[in-house]
Amino acid sequence: MRPELTVQRLFDGGFEEVGCWELNSTRDLVHRLDLPKQAGVYAFAINGIVQYVGLASKSLSQRLSFYRRPGVSQRTNIRLNEVIRGHLDKGTVVQILTAHPSDHKWNGFTIKGAEGLEAGLIAEFDLPWNMRGAVRTMAKPANSEARKSGQAALSDLILEAVRNRPGMTELEIAKAIYGPAAVQQRVNSDCRLLVGRKLLERRGSGGRLDPYVYHARD
């Protein structure tokens, strides 16, 4: 079993607390933060324990704004909006912490610091609000209705993975959901289905030097 991730551990690793989520007079989710328009990793915590870790690949300011007013297709943002508001209704403080790890080189290749930190935290710690990897415990569907349910669950995980890390290939999406030994065939048909439903956008030519990559249509 993976350990809990404490706020103190994040502080020790270079995170900063930037504020808390609040409810305004109309019970909408808000914050009073002047967040930078740059990439970073963010975390939500309750009672000193981190509940969720996410990636802002371009702008922390924009990424957190999606939780305040999620679009109808932004299922992860809708889910977390409801979860956070539920805790605030009970008087619980939900902290927001951020970090901006720098990129670095490895054998001539650029390693993105924010993407690597987010993936490492999710892999190492128990984060109750992060749903990535849940599909690995799903049983084989026994009938048509169960198959539809399993497909819907996988689609949700694909959407969440792509929103957290835009620009992933099918193989990278499969590994984000199923683990490092996964093959792209486990997700390619669902990725194409989501493109057809206009929830994902596919870019690239599909060639070896220009593989398909996916972006969420928010």
Which run of H or E residues covers position 121? Answer: helix 113-124
What's the confidence (pLDDT) of residue 139?
A: 36
Q: Do domains 7-99 and 135-216 have the same CATH topology?
A: no
What integer pLDDT is reported at residue 100 of this predicted model? 94
What three-state secondary structure class fits 169? coil
| CATH number of 7-99, picked from 3.50.50.60, 2.40.10.10, 3.40.1440.40, 3.30.70.141 | 3.40.1440.40
Q: Read off φ and ψ for residue 141, nearest 5 degrees.
A: -60, 140
Residue 41: what pLDDT?
Answer: 96
Q: Which pLDDT value is given to residue 177?
A: 83
**Per-residue CA distances from 170 to 30, 166, 213 (Å):** 34, 12, 7
> pLDDT truncated to tens, each residue of the chain (218 aa)?
789 999 999 999 999 999 999 999 888 899 988 888 889 999 999 999 999 999 998 899 999 999 988 887 788 888 899 999 999 999 999 999 999 999 989 899 988 899 999 999 998 999 999 864 333 333 344 444 444 444 567 888 899 888 888 898 998 898 888 877 778 888 888 998 999 999 999 998 877 778 889 999 86
Could you state, in order of their start, the residue ranges of all structural domains in the chain?
7-99, 135-216
pLDDT for 141? 40
> Can you give the pLDDT at residue 75?
81
Write down the pLDDT at residue 152.
62
CA 141 to chain centre: 26
pLDDT for the residue numbered 149:
45
CATH no., domain 135-216: 1.10.10.10
Instruction: Report the C-alpha gap between 78 and 124 in whole angstroms.
Output: 25
Q: Tell me the CA distances in angstroms from 90 to 23, 63, 69, 86, 179, one per residue in order.
A: 11, 25, 21, 7, 36
Q: pLDDT at position 121, please? A: 94
